[in-house]
Structure formats: C-alpha cells, structure tokens
Amino acid sequence: MRQFLKYVLATIVGLLLFSFVGFLLLLGVGMALSSSSDQKVVVKENSVLKINLDKPIEERSSENPFSGIGPIQSSGDAIGLVELKQALKDAKDDENIEGIYLQSESPGAGWASVEEIRNALIDFKQSKKFIYAYAETMNEKGYYIASVADKIYLNPAGDLEWNGLDAELTFFKGTLDKLGIKPEIFRVGEFKSAIEPFIRENMSEPNKRQVTSFINSINDHMLVRVAQSRGLRVDSLKRYADQLTIQKPADALRTKLITDVGYQDELEAVIRKKLNVEEKKKINYVTLSKYENAESTSDNAGGTGSNRIAVIVATGDIHTGKGDDNSIGSETIVDEIRKARLDDKVKAIVLRVNSGGGSALASDVMYREVQLARKVKPVIGSMSDYAASGGYYMLMGCDKIVAQPNTITGSIGVFSLLFNTETFFKDKLGVTYDRVKSNENADFPAVTHEMTPFQKQTLQRATERIYADFTSKAAAGRKLPVDSLRAIAGGRVWTGSQGKAIGLVDQLGGLDDAIKLAAQSAKLKEGDYRLKYQPRKKPFIEQLMSSFGGDEESKIQAQLGELAPYVKYLKKLKTMEGTQMRLPFEITIH
C-alpha cells in the first residue's frame, strides 16, 4: 500500500511539474509572439491590403498573441471596428498600398457597424485606389459593404442573397407551461415587448407594428445607398427582392448587382494586370492584422498635443458591478467617466454605447456620472448597433447624441420579471415549501408561491415610478415636454433615422462624427488633441490567461452547436434581477 501511495504521489508531482513547465513554455512562446507583433511590419511597394470581414466584428479588438493558433483562440480573433477604420485611413495615404482585396460574405456585425465600415471604404476610394471584392456566397450585409467596390466577383457556383430583411424572435411560453413555471410580469409601455417571449407564442400587434417599422427603415436606407453605389433604381432593387429575381450568379450580373461572375484566380489575374505583376509572381498581399501593426494605430492616435478626448466604450448587457469586454458593469463605466472628468488633459468625453439595455438601477447610476461630467466638459453620445432602453438611458443626459441611420434605439420602457416556480418544484421535482412570517409581507417578493394581489400591485407601482423617472429624465435631456417624450416612448423601438426625426437623436453619423463634434464642443482644432480609448486593453498576461481558458460563449457554441442560443437565453435570465430596461429579449435581423 505504501509503495502504491508513493507511485500515486510521484505521478501527481510529475503532472504538476509538467503543467508548470508547459505553462512556462506557453508563456515564453506568447511573449515571443507578442514581441514579434510589436515590431512594425514593412509594407512592400505595389501591395494590396487584403481584408476578410467574415469574422466577429467588435468595437475594439483584443490583443491576443495566440490569435488563430490552433485551439488557443478567443475574442482576440475578432476584428476591432476602431482598428479596421484606422487601417483604412492609413492605407488611403500609404503610397505602398495600391488597393484593397475585399472578402465580405457574412460579416459578424450589426447594421450600424456595417454602415461605419462601408463609409470608411467610401472614404478610402477618394484616394483613387481600387477596391475589388470576391465572394462565393453573400448575404445582404456582406453585399451592402461590397456594393462600394469597383469590381464585385461572384463565384459561378455561388449565391447572392437578395430577398429583403426579416426579424425573428424566439418565444418560450410553451416551454414554461410544460415546466409549470409561471412568469409574473410588471411593465409600462404598450410596446415594451421584452417580456413577450415568456407570456406569448407570437408577437403582439403593437410589437409587430414597431418591428415592421424599424425593419423597413433599415431596409429602405440600405436600398437607397446600394442604388447610389451601383447606379440602380430603388424600385428595381425592391422588385428583385419581392420576386426572388436573383436565383443564380448570372441573375446578379444581369441586374448589375455585381460586375463579374468568375473564380478567385480570375479576379487575381485582373489584379496582376492592374499592378503590372507577371503571372508567375505572387501578389504582395498584406493582411489586415499585419497592416494594423504597420502604422501607428495606438489608443492615443489622432494628434500631437497634450489635449485628450476620452472615448469610453461600453458594450453588452447592463448590470451592476464590474464589466468586461462583453458586458457593461456600472462600476467599471462610472470609474472610467469619473477618471475622464477629473483628468485636466481630457477636454471632452465620447461615450460609445452598443447595448440593448439591462438593469434599470445600473443604468441610472451611469446616467448620474454622465450628468456630473457634462458640468465640467462636453459629453457626446455615440450609438453603435444598439443603444436602446438602458443603453439609451446611459446617453440621454449627454450634450449631443450621434447615431447611424440603421442604429436600433429608443425602447424607453420598463419591466419587472419574476418566475413563480411553485408548480415546477412540486410537480416536477417533488419539492414543497412552507413558511412563517413576522410581518404580513415579509415574503415579498416571492418566487416559490403566488404573490398576493396587494404585492403584485406594489411591484406594478414601483415599475411605474421607475418609468416616470426614466421619461422625465429623458425629456429633460432631450429638451422635450414630458408628454411629447412619453408619446414616442412606451417601449417603442426606433432606428437612428427615425430617432433623429422625433428628437431622440441630434445627428446622424458614426464614431468619427461624434469625436469631431466633441472636439468642436471643446473648441479643439484638428491635430490639437489625441484620442484616449477606455477602458484600457488587457495586458498580455491577462490576454494569455483568457486565451488559455477560452471564451465562455465560444465554449458554449462549440459544445452545443445549434442549441447554444437557447442556453445563452437561459443564462441571460440570471441577469434579469430587479427592474429592467431592455430591448425585446432577442432580435435576429437577417
């Protein structure tokens, strides 16, 4: 027995030593990769910038030295919108870059991010350099970006999706009924549809009206811009979608949606001719990830002066406490706004929000910090793909708000959600509860038994008070009468274009436009300030640990495949504590 224990102990020690040495080796490789990535890439003459947008696109990229290396991958493999736009600005003036080879089949981004990328490509074209796009298949988002290209090649066996946009919502009432779980809903606003997945099997008529409205707004904007880029008529583009005209690549060519039907090698032959490169020689491609390291794209880019504009990026669901790259924690954002407010070098603040909302309490805490900041320096709000409900709450106190035409915003409404699990525990698990109380409502609020009518009324009144506070503050921030604000509130969702027309938004544009507005408000001239992005990017060692462990959402997706979205829905339920300000639970626009 002693001998056996000795071998077991030796094995455990050996495994620990092996793990430790392996970690040190991994750390060394990571340090080497990180060091090599810090070295500036030399761009050869007659080069082409190769951009593949068929990846997740986030507000900012994460520094991951193991990006793309086997299983050690994470969000560091995503494209950063800020970094992509900076690379396009650099390439526009780079005499060694002759043009762009664009792959844009199915970008992992929302419509507002797609708009920013497309506008950046249009700006690049002012250099008179070429943009050639190639795809085997393309959805509407991918084509919308590619439509600015000088040449659009579609594989002869490929496909172009051109049938309009639709929004699909998922409903769980049937599941809850089968489980014996009863949702208790308290809400304000005819259009506050975030709770519908738990009490309905389909969309209500008010919800259908609002979704139809903003889907058509996004689609109409896309059609107008595509028509301008391709020299086509909007009514023709609508007809092609209604009649499913584009069935094969030849149809896309005939209708002039694309310029060529051909293989990748055929497009490369065109590029060689454009560059005067012999057939047997390779084209000097430089990938986006390498090119980002060829020019200065640091967080403090933008000028040479000591003045700063702080760009605070907030992405994800809103909750109390600390946040991360995929969630907005009120503690984290408040700390960043406060640091920018107290920093004398920071002359203005841009609050960049990409969120469909979350905790009402956390949203109000961040709103308060915005109010304190704007007393001492300009604060400009910038909306990304979503800035709705709690996301709008964060921004409504800013001096000015900038949104893309296809941003999803509004949803000024409130709901509280509890689940009565008494039947589920009793009938499904055989678990029952009993209680004694010192006071009549000591068990309020309850989830293991039915609440009394008085308790439900109390929760409804509390929800209404928060809605009144939300709309009052929004009206004050937007300089509108409260009645006028409430007429466009009620939880209704709007696009950026619609929001500007009704006073929820001041200006249409992207992050760059918000930064320019902040500079003007602070009376800063171009070149007289630098940009300071916050929160800071994680240092290498933190990135290494997160890369080694893997991204939680990536793990769920890898393990569950098509079931992953439903698990994510259930995980999101855990964050719905207290009164919520959210968009409809999950909207998929495609």
What are the Cα distances from residue 573, in Å, to 139, 419, 576, 586? 31, 10, 5, 12
**Token pair for residue 527?**
């070149």
Residue 568's φ and ψ, nearest 5 degrees, are -65, -40
Give residue for tokens 């929302």. Answer: 110
Evaluate whether 136 touches 179 at the Cβ level (below 8 Å). Answer: no
CA dihedral 433, 439, 441, 446 (to 10 degrees): -20
**How many other CB atoms are there within 10 angstroms of residue 574's CB atom?**
7
Location of structure tokens 């500036």: 40
Tally Cβ neighbours within 10 Å of residue 336. 22
Q: How far apart are CA 356 and CA 369, in angstroms?
A: 20
Core vs surface per residue 503-520: b (16+ CB within 10 A) or e: ebbbebbbbbbbbbbbbe
Most distant CA pair in the chain, distance: 89
Residues in CB range of 479: below 8 A, 6 or more apart: none
Instruction: Please tell me which residue in 141, 182, 192, 532 is annotated as part of the active site.
Output: 192
| Residue 379: CA count within 13 A, CB half-sphere | 24
Q: Is 389 a catalytic residue?
A: yes
Q: Is residue 116 within 8 Å of residue 509, measured between CB atoms?
A: no
Smallest CA-to-CA distance from 377 within 349, 354, 417 is with 349
Helices and strands in the chain, H and E counts: 23, 24
Residue of 108, 113, 56 lying closest to 385 (CA atoms): 113
Alpha-carbon distance of 467 to 189, in angstroms, equals 9
Structure-block tokens of residue 21: 């040495």
Catalytic residue among 62, 147, 389, 497: 389
Beta bridge partners of 411: none
| 192 given a catalytic annotation | yes
Q: Which two tokens stand for residue 144?
A: 């919308």
* DSSP SS3 for 500: helix
Q: Which of 328, 314, 291, 459 is nearest to 385 (CA)?
A: 314
User: What CA–CA distance (Å, rounded) separates 423 from 374?
Assistant: 50
Which residues are marked as active site?
192, 389
